[in-house]
């Protein structure tokens, strides 16, 4: 669950950087950057779809699994035990 949350944060930051870069390219209006602008424009919806999937399906799925494990009394290894294995 934490790992997926970190992916969500990372891709949210990436989306912000992508949108900002796209705006900078649009302001400069350099002919050689048209392909870059198109690529960035195409990437934004893909990142948004991935974020929607993460926050509406993936993270809640892991949260439900964790809650079920807690209710069943599942014991997890601590960090030190995991590092030794």
Domain boundaries, the chain: 2-84
Residue 81 is predicted with a pLDDT of 83
Per-residue pLDDT reduced to its tens digit, 32-67? 788 888 999 999 999 999 999 999 999 999 999 999
Q: Flag whether pLDDT at 13 surpasses 80.
A: yes
Contacts of 18 (CB under 8 A, 6+ apart): 40, 43, 44, 47
Q: What is the pTM of this model?
A: 0.78
Residue 85 is predicted with a pLDDT of 62
Nearest alpha-carbon partner for 8 in 66, 65, 58: 58
Average pLDDT over the chain, rounded to whole?
A: 91
Q: Flag whether pLDDT at 76 surpasses 90.
A: no
How many Cα atoms within 13 Å fall on the side-chain side of residue 79? 0
């Amino acid at each position: 669950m934490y790992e997926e949350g970190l992916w969500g944060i990372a891709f949210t930051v990436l989306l912000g950087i992508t949108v900002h870069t796209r705006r900078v390219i649009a302001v400069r209006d350099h002919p050689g950057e048209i392909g870059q602008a198109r690529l960035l424009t195409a990437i934004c919806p893909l990142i948004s779809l991935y974020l929607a999937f993460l926050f509406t399906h993936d993270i809640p799925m892991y949260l439900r699994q964790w809650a079920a494990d807690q209710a069943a009394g599942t014991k997890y290894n601590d960090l030190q035990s995991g590092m030794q294995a």
